[in-house]
Amino acid sequence: MTEATERFFESLPSRAPDVLGGLIDGTLQIDLGSDHRTEHWLVRTRPGSVQVSRARGPADALWYSSAALFDRLISGEAQGLAAVLRNESTFSGNVVLFLAFRRFFPNPPGTRDPREVARRAAGRPA
């Protein structure tokens, strides 16, 4: 597992209050495969909080990705939903957990808010 992946999962509990909204409640197991080996992460999501462990366990949803793809997701170079739709990763279970979890991933490099672009084009401050 890469150091970036470790840091990403370590950061989730402190970032959860800012990233998660609503009443997200459930457990997502994330399996990351690399070289005939699978690493497991269990992410327990509650309203405004997250607990992370390296365990397998009962989960409301299961997401499988290659470790290489996950590194691209946490750097903003790939998008989680697009990866699932292209069958680069698989997901089963409560889709709301996946949709909420993907908010932890950064936007692609160079992404700009279209509202900010429109304000600047109109000559108003952002």
Residue 126 lies in a domain: no
Residue 66 lies in a domain: yes
The tokens for 109 are 């490099």
For the segment 2-15, the average pLDDT, to the nearest whole number, is 94
The pLDDT confidence band at residue 115, using thresholds 50, 70 and 90, is confident
Residue 126 pLDDT > 60: no
Share of residues in the chain with pLDDT > 90 (%) = 71
The tokens for 92 are 């089963």
Residue 63 lies in a domain: yes
pLDDT attached to residue 119: 81
Q: Rounded CA gap, 11 and 124, in Å?
A: 36
Determine contact, residues 24/12, Cβ cutoff 8 Å: no
Looking at residue 20, its amino acid is L
Q: Give the range of the structural domain holding residue 9, as residue numbers without chain letter.
A: 3-121
- What's the pLDDT tens digit per position in 47-95? 889 999 999 989 999 999 999 999 999 999 999 999 999 999 999 999 9
Determine contact, residues 47/20, Cβ cutoff 8 Å: yes
Which residues, in sequence order, are bridge partners of residue 41?
Answer: 30
Domain count, the chain: 1
The tokens for 93 are 């279970």
For the segment 35-43, the average pLDDT, to the nearest whole number, is 94
CATH number at residue 75: 3.30.1050.10
Q: Rounded CA gap, 104 and 85, in Å?
A: 19
Residue 109 lies in a domain: yes
Q: Rounded CA gap, 84 and 53, in Å?
A: 23
Distance of CA 22 to the CA centre of its chain: 17
pLDDT attached to residue 104: 94
For 25-34, 76-85, 115-124, which range has the lowest pLDDT when averaged over its residues?
Answer: 115-124
pLDDT attached to residue 1: 67
Residue 42 lies in a domain: yes
Residue 21 lies in a domain: yes
Looking at residue 47, its amino acid is P
Which position has the higher pLDDT, 123 or 81?
Answer: 81
